């Protein structure tokens, strides 16, 4: 009986504790934006103690103001001028434009950017892994295969931010009728939280 109560307590407290830890970590990182303010403007100087979350509010305001400025004529001109300066620095140019391409794809609402959830044969032909289609290969890559290829990102469990990037034959993939969010929950839970797809054709793939 005590074991049952203990396990029930774990089921209640572990998700809550992890959620609080993740939020506290994010807020702690965002609070670092207070370092942009003059020392006399910071909560420690104003109130005599730190105020958790003030940096998160400041970060949100900075993002909103940046978005507002970037959408008007002068803001666009300023961004073009800034990017022109970065383009003249070799190492900085490579890093900036690589990150910019990824962020544009993920946040702009254009492109395929994880638009499809797939099953792919990985790490060998007898196994299947969940993957996200990220696009199509460049002609330089596609010419080395006699079949159509797709670009996929195969996340690791339980941390889907890490993974592997591959080109696989489209004929070897199966598109799953589940959302990216459902697939991520499935990966993070290591198969415990089962998605509710409308139609998964995995059985057809395995039987081929």
Both tokens assigned to 120: 């792919």
Average pLDDT per run of 10 along the chain, which is 208 residues long? Answer: 82 85 84 83 80 84 84 81 81 77 59 74 88 86 88 83 86 87 83 64 44
The residue among 85, 169, 193, 78 whose CA lies nearest residue 121 is: 169
8 and 99, same domain (yes or no): yes
Q: Report pLDDT for 204.
A: 45
How do residues 99-121 score in pLDDT, each as one tens digit? 776 666 555 554 446 668 899 99
6 and 100, same domain (yes or no): yes
Helix, strand, or coil (residue 167): strand
Domain that holds residue 20: 2-107
- State the Cα–Cα distance between residues 44 and 51, nearest whole angstrom: 8
- State the Cα–Cα distance between residues 117 and 114, nearest whole angstrom: 7
Q: Report pLDDT for 196.
A: 67
33 and 53, same domain (yes or no): yes
Q: Report pLDDT for 111.
A: 45
8 and 103, same domain (yes or no): yes
123 and 100, same domain (yes or no): no
Entry pTM: 0.52
29 and 100, same domain (yes or no): yes
Single residue among 51, 85, 107 that ends a domain in this structure: 107
Please name the residue ranges forming H helices in 31-86.
43-47, 54-70, 73-86
102 and 124, same domain (yes or no): no
């Amino acid at each position: 009986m005590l074991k049952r109560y203990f396990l029930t307590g774990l089921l209640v407290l572990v998700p809550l504790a992890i959620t609080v830890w993740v939020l506290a970590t994010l807020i702690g990182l965002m609070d670092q934006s207070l370092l942009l303010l003059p020392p006399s403007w910071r909560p420690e100087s104003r109130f005599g103690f730190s105020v958790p979350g003030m940096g998160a509010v400041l970060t949100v305001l900075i993002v909103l103001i940046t978005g507002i400025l970037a959408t008007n004529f002068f803001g666009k001109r300023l961004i073009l001028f800034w990017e022109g300066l970065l383009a003249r620095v070799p190492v900085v140019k490579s890093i900036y434009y690589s990150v910019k391409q990824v962020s544009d794809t993920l946040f702009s609402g254009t492109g395929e950017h994880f638009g499809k959830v797939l099953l792919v044969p990985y790490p060998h032909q007898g196994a299947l892994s969940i993957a996200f289609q990220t696009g199509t290969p460049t002609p330089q890559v596609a010419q080395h295969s006699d079949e159509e290829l797709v670009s996929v990102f195969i996340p690791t469990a339980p941390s889907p931010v890490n993974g592997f990037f591959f080109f696989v034959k489209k004929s070897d993939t199966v598109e799953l009728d589940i959302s990216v969010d459902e697939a991520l929950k499935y990966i993070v839970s290591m198969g415990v939280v089962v998605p509710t797809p409308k139609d998964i054709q995995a059985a057809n793939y395995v039987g081929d």
